[in-house]
Amino acid sequence: MANFDTFNRGATIADQATFDVGLRAHMVRVYNYMASGLALSGIVAFGLFSSPELAGMFFQLQAGRVVGLNMLGWIAILAPIGLLLLVSFRAATMSTGAVQAVYWTVTALMGVSLSLLLFRYTGASVARTFFVTAAAFGALSLYGYTTKRDLSAMGKFLFMGLIGLILAGLVNMIWPSGTMSFIISAVGVLIFSGLIAYDTQRIKEQYAEAWGTDALEKVAVFGALSLYLDFVNLFQFLMSFLGQERE
Domain-located, residue 228: yes
Domain-located, residue 247: no
Side-chain half-sphere CA neighbours of 145 within 13 A: 17
Residue 70's SS3 state is: coil
Domain-located, residue 128: yes
Sign of CA dihedral 1, 164, 59, 121: negative
Q: Of all helices (H) and strands (E), which one includes residue 172?
A: helix 152-174
Report the chain's mean pLDDT, rounded to a whole number. Answer: 89
Rg (CA), the chain: 19
Determine the structural domain holding residue 203 and report its residue range: 4-242
> Phi and psi (nearest 5°) for 244?
-110, 115
- pLDDT computed for residue 210 by the predictor: 79
pLDDT, tens digit, 9 for 90 and up, residues 155-190: 888 989 989 998 988 888 888 888 888 999 999 999
Residue 65's SS3 state is: strand
13 — pLDDT class (breaks 50, 70, 90): low
Residues 62, 7: Cα–Cα separation, whole Å: 58
Burial class (CB in 10 A: 0-12, 13-18, 19+), 231: buried
| Contact assessment for residue 228 and residue 87, using Cβ atoms and an 8 Å cutoff | no
Q: Note the pTM of the prediction, 2 decimals.
A: 0.90
| Contact assessment for residue 132 and residue 110, using Cβ atoms and an 8 Å cutoff | no
Domain-located, residue 147: yes
| pLDDT at residue 15 tops 90 | no
What is the total count of domains within the chain?
1
